[in-house]
Structure 1
Amino acid sequence: MAALHDRAKAANPQTRAEAANLHYRVEAADLHAHLYGVTLTVAQPAAQQRVSLPVWIAGSYMVREFSKQIVGITARQGTRAVAVQQLDKCTWEVDCQADAPVTLHYQVHAHDDSVRTAWLDAQRGFFNGTSVCLQVAGQTEQPHQLELIAPQSHWQVATGLTPLKIDRQGFGTYVAADYDELVDCPVEMGTFWSGTFKAGGIEHRFVVAGATPAFDGERLLRDTQRICEQAIAFWHGKKRGQTPHKNYVFMLNAVADGYGGLEHRNSTALICQRADLPRLEETPAAPAKTQANAHSKTSPALSDGYTILLGLISHEYFHTWNVKRLRPFEFAQYDYSRENTTELLWFFEGFTSYYDDLLLRRAHLIDDAVYLRLLNKTVNQVLQTPGRKVHTVAQSSFEAWTKYYRNDANTPNLTVSYYTKGALVALCLDLTLRQHGVKNHSVSLDDVMRALWQRCCTGKRSGPMQEADVLAVLHDLTGRSWAPEFKAWVHGTRELPLEKLLTAHGVAIHQDPAPLAQRLGLRVSEDHSVQIKQVLADGAAQRAGFAPGDEWLGLEVTAPTTKSAPHTAWRIKKLDDVLLYAGRATQLTALVSRDHQLLRLPLSLPKAKAHSTWRLAIQDSHKVAAWLAA
């Protein structure tokens, strides 16, 4: 009983505030210099207290060295200034005694307009705690307070942190149970649009910075509500009150050009193009809700950009369960000072990528044809990545820190995305399970996910899991071992049985001629000339001698017969010009600029029939609907 009483006290914001030994005060030191001013007070420091700043943020698997943005750490103990010595790239030692509170002052430069770090200017403020809040050694499991000071009087605040004493705009003091919670609740500040809705009985807030007057916030709320209801029902069915979060905040920054998201325990930070937001003139009046049509009709047609945005919202919200609670065993306790590696990102990111668009379909925001079009894109991305033949998706997960997140010109030849191939592993597993069945009972990947939740996240279990847990659940549900499939799909590089499984579930697969870039094995950009970004392994361009960084200026064509026109040379500005000027010729000479040298590369144009791209279509609508329905 005593342990339960202690946990109840810790869950109470007032109790946590009274117990808080650590207090962060964050204000704008200079809006135009993009500087936050931070004051950290440690009520009961250790002698020679050490502090550090994380080198990475959970959910983004790359060492980013956030400490490089810290400016001028100073410290005082009472009226006495105490020395602060930097020990390594992200750790400092404060020359203090253990007999009195110590206060540290520092500034943080914040001009990274992404979801991972921090931003501050005269229009908007945003930060993750990993970029701003020093970690106090020995006290990370203690309660923390965060005090936010308004940079401008008309600004508001949005955050998933628990408020202790705040004003109507949201500025004031918040509390966190420990350092992990503090840095897992980003803060949005500014004059953003804000709206709320309930899903599963839980209050959800959606804030949008940077929207235009054409933005239809009510439609965004309606559509997001349907996604959230679908996700909550997926994990918990009709059992309200079982969700791991009691409130949720979506923070979306709309910009001219950008895309991304980062999941947190009860919030997410998102970025999208302004043009992808729903617009008032595109949204018909919502029909009156009845019991019959409240969630049964497909939403009015969505633009491609808005569909992608809703998929991002679905993806990050699904992470509330899959990676924030149900998580890799290696993430049971984060080490913010170094890489935290796991072979399971194919499951946590890949399976989430499988379900993000699937939940849009189940929420009737898209139909079966649109879902297959989105899946089609994922399939072709994987099939057009040579790295899938040399790097398993488990290895791709483990090496995300050095390969996926440090993308360069050769990345497609070295590795495969654990997002996209992981999604296809989930697809293959789901479709194979549906074929399997147990005693006339249909089994699907939905059952596996919910069984994993029950196995790892209920009772005294706090969420860490291993691949062995997935295999155990599969064995429990089906009565057989799935080790052979995991060996082939997760730990092997053979092609996935996509064609066989999709065809069995009512999907027709057409082989269309591949675009020229795919036939040549090139990834390019086109702006008055063809810039070579990546050269894919074993392709015609690699055999001809193309290299990343080349500028393809033109081509020389020799007529295929002696009776035709003589040898000609052409300037090209886009890749399609190659086919225009080549005619029937298959042997060309590419004119390339490399390091200001002009090179002539002999190039053989592959036949169109030798390379194809997949096009998925509905062949049996009943089978497709049976698969895609909840």
Structure 2
Amino acid sequence: MTTTRPPARPARPKRAARPAETPAGVHLRVAIPDPHRHLFALTLTIHHPSARQRVSLPVWIPGSYLVREFSQHLQNLQATQGGQAVAVRQLDKHSWQIDAQAGQPLELRYEVYAFDASVRTAFLDATRGFFNSTSLCLRVAGQTAQPHTLTLAADDLPAGWRVATGLSPEQADADGRGRYRAADYDELADCPVELGTFWQGDFEACGVPHRFVVSGAGAGFDGERLLADTRRLCEAQIRFWHGDQAPPFTHYVFMLHASADGYGGLEHRNSTALICQRADLPPRSAAARATTPLKAADGYTTLLGLISHEYFHTWNVKRLRPAEFAPYDYAHENYTELLWFFEGFTSYYDDLFLRRAGLIDNLAYLQLVTKTANQVLQTPGRHLQSVAQASFDAWIKYYRVGENTPNATVSYYTKGALVALCLDLTLRAAGTGSLDDVMRHLWAACAGGPVREADIARALRAVGGRSFARELRDWVHGTDDLPLTELLRAQGASVDRDKAPLAQQLGLRVSESGGITIKTVLRGGAAEAAGLAAGDEWLGIEIPPPRRGQPAEAWQIRKLDELPLLLGARRRCTAIVARDRRLLRCELVWPEEPVQALRVGPADAQRLQAWLAP
């Protein structure tokens, strides 16, 4: 997509000359002297500093609820004013005081090491660059509400590199190199930048220009299909929120990096940064394109679900957002109990819009519901922690995954999605409306701005015609299981129970790459009773002899699915594991009642159509 310069302004009558004024606001210039060093070179100009000016770097990025200490990568901070060096004193882990005089432009020069390929921070090598300004741009105390400009000039970038960002250009060439403008620091922080020789394509959704850039993909993927399918998702979501009205953004940018093994996304006000596996991109072949609708297990379905999720966030968390986040505090954790709504409800709608956009059929959608339901049901921590508590604890639990995480917490993404499902089906069963109506009511009532749980409760009452206090108490603030089976069956789905996967039957989560390594021992399972522990390498089993006096059978195992063949009808064996280079024997008793998993499928096409139809 070509970026053009603003049209020339009409000539004005000449006036008497007057002294030149110093520009207002803050300007950041980003340069890449040598990408092999993985260092961005930054020049920050404060046109009207205060005396003893303070600056700071955020400790977290909105949308990713973990203190990440971005300042650990900042180095060599120096300051000059009027061509003379001025002293810089560090105040704490992420802020500095500059011994500046008021009124005279202040220039800060520093470097940021960038070698984190995630969507949350910054990355730079000879193949591409990417950054969020929360990792690069210092916040200027007293001036965060002032306009900020960002320059990515051709002379500062490797030859042939282009620029993609949601920021509005002030002056940029056809490849996006030039100067960009943000109304304030928040807008600058909310517009990541992709740099490199990426693939790009464009489309319009409901009249709004959308740009899609892909780095790291190679030449073998079907870019036209990716654009067409993304357009269908975008149009379905814009119409969901606004009907025939315009959305609250004038342009949108998808920035996708394809890697050997990666997955993730981070939402922004008019853009998103995404990571997928290269194998998940749609291949360029007629046979592959003819495989529609997609299957639930397809990697491309997973990618489209990620795109759908981050795009839905454009409304649900970037505009509608927790009242505690208005405004953001970049220096500390921002606590809220509402991530079950902002992440969980978005997780409900991401897959639902794959169905509504016609990219998957009813069977595939219900298989995705099955996957989500079983992820929650296979998490013992759901009985220990409510989804509201999980939201509040995101800063110390969700992003700090350990071997005990499934036993101690529940995901506000997956259980939040099931809460949304249950509320939607409850409203539909009563014939008073749907969760769609609740979301649109909330958008209007909160003017697309800060949200409290009381606002959600009022929207549910307005659509449902009654209080939903009991459901919010039990489903959001309680730890009992949700009434999935009855609600799904009432809406035309079949709900059956299958034997759970072997690891789940034993109460385990394992890695089976080159052998069996235990990752997690789930609370209350057979593995915990046997004394197995996270980190154990499961080497083999001993099976008691069928008759007294005969030797036991000993077998090496490499995968769990070898166990049923070796055990047959026997329920007891001795697991031989290596722990800290010691061989241990753990007496394992197979559970008498097999652990079960849900399987959701279509039953009544007419009722399903009312729920899932585009």
Q: TM-score, normalised by structure 1?
A: 0.92
Aligned to 2:340: 346
In structure 2, the CA distance between the partners of 1:348 and 1:302, relative to structure 1 (3 Å rule), is: closer
Aligned to 2:17: none
In structure 2, the CA distance between the partners of 1:205 and 1:46, relative to structure 1 (3 Å rule), is: same
1:573 aligns with 2:558: yes
Letter aligned with residue 577 of structure 1: E
Identity %: 61
Whether contact under 8 Å (1:430, 1:445) holds in the other structure is yes
1:204-283 correspondence to structure 2 within 5 Å:
204-239=210-245, 241=246, 243-282=247-286
Give 1:52's match in structure 2, choosing from 56, 62, 71: 56
Q: Which deviates more from structure 2 when the two are superposed, residues 345-354 or residues 148-157?
A: 148-157
Whether contact under 8 Å (2:355, 2:612) holds in the other structure is yes
Kindly provide the CA deviation profile for residues 214-273 of structure 1, in whole angstroms up to 9, marking residues without a partner as x: 11100000000000000001001122x2x1111000000001110000000000000001
Aligned to 2:441: 451
Give 1:504's match in structure 2, choosing from 487, 490, 512: 490
Give 1:473's match in structure 2, choosing from 459, 483, 487: 459
Whether contact under 8 Å (1:207, 1:250) holds in the other structure is yes
Letter aligned with residue 587 of structure 1: R
Cα RMSD, aligned residues only: 1.9
1:68 aligns with 2:86: no
Letter aligned with residue 323 of structure 2: F
| CA distance in 2 between partners of 1:78 and 1:13 (Å) | 33
Whether contact under 8 Å (1:353, 1:419) holds in the other structure is yes
Q: TM-score, normalised by structure 2?
A: 0.94
Tell me by how many angstroms 1:612 deviates: 0.9
Whether contact under 8 Å (1:24, 1:38) holds in the other structure is yes
Q: Which deviates more from structure 2 when the two are superposed, residues 53-62 or residues 95-104?
A: 95-104
| CA distance in 1 between partners of 2:260 and 2:23 (Å) | 44
Tell me by how many angstroms 1:559 deviates: 2.9
1:76-225 correspondence to structure 2 within 5 Å:
76-150=80-154, 151-225=157-231
Kindly provide the CA deviation profile for residues 386-426 of structure 1, in whole angstroms up to 9, marking residues without a partner as x: 00001000000000110111111100001000000000000
Whether contact under 8 Å (1:298, 1:364) holds in the other structure is no
Aligned to 2:3: none
Whether contact under 8 Å (1:55, 1:338) holds in the other structure is yes
Whether contact under 8 Å (1:396, 1:415) holds in the other structure is yes
Whether contact under 8 Å (2:434, 2:463) holds in the other structure is no
In structure 2, the CA distance between the partners of 1:392 and 1:539, relative to structure 1 (3 Å rule), is: same
Tell me by how many angstroms 1:603 deviates: 0.9
1:544 aligns with 2:548: no
| CA distance in 2 between partners of 1:615 and 1:342 (Å) | 33
Letter aligned with residue 466 of structure 1: R
Give 1:484's match in structure 2, choosing from 451, 470, 474: 470
Ranges in structure 1 where 5+ consecutive residues have no aligned partner: 1-11, 287-296
| CA distance in 1 between partners of 2:542 and 2:116 (Å) | 45
Partner secondary structure for residue 565 of structure 2? helix
Whether contact under 8 Å (1:560, 1:585) holds in the other structure is no
In structure 2, the CA distance between the partners of 1:606 and 1:247, relative to structure 1 (3 Å rule), is: same
Give 2:541's match in structure 1, choosing from 533, 538, 555: 555
| CA distance in 2 between partners of 1:406 and 1:111 (Å) | 20
In structure 2, the CA distance between the partners of 1:558 and 1:624, relative to structure 1 (3 Å rule), is: same
| CA distance in 2 between partners of 1:574 and 1:284 (Å) | 32
Whether contact under 8 Å (1:125, 1:189) holds in the other structure is yes
Whether contact under 8 Å (1:361, 1:371) holds in the other structure is yes
Ranges in structure 2 where 5+ consecutive residues have no aligned partner: 1-6, 10-20
Give 1:624's match in structure 2, choosing from 602, 608, 611: 608
Kindly provide the CA deviation profile for residues 287-344 of structure 1, in whole angstroms up to 9, marking residues without a partner as x: xxxxxxxxxx965768700001000000000000000001111011000111101000
| CA distance in 2 between partners of 1:145 and 1:158 (Å) | 15
Partner secondary structure for residue 32 of structure 1? helix
Aligned to 2:14: none
Aligned to 1:293: none
Kindly provide the CA deviation profile for residues 100-138 of structure 1, in whole angstroms up to 9, marking residues without a partner as x: 111000001111011001011111010000000010011
| CA distance in 1 between partners of 2:38 and 2:366 (Å) | 44
| CA distance in 1 between partners of 2:259 and 2:559 (Å) | 28
Whether contact under 8 Å (2:542, 2:576) holds in the other structure is yes
Letter aligned with residue 573 of structure 2: L
1:599 aligns with 2:567: no
1:514 aligns with 2:500: yes
Tell me by how many angstroms 1:560 deviates: 4.4
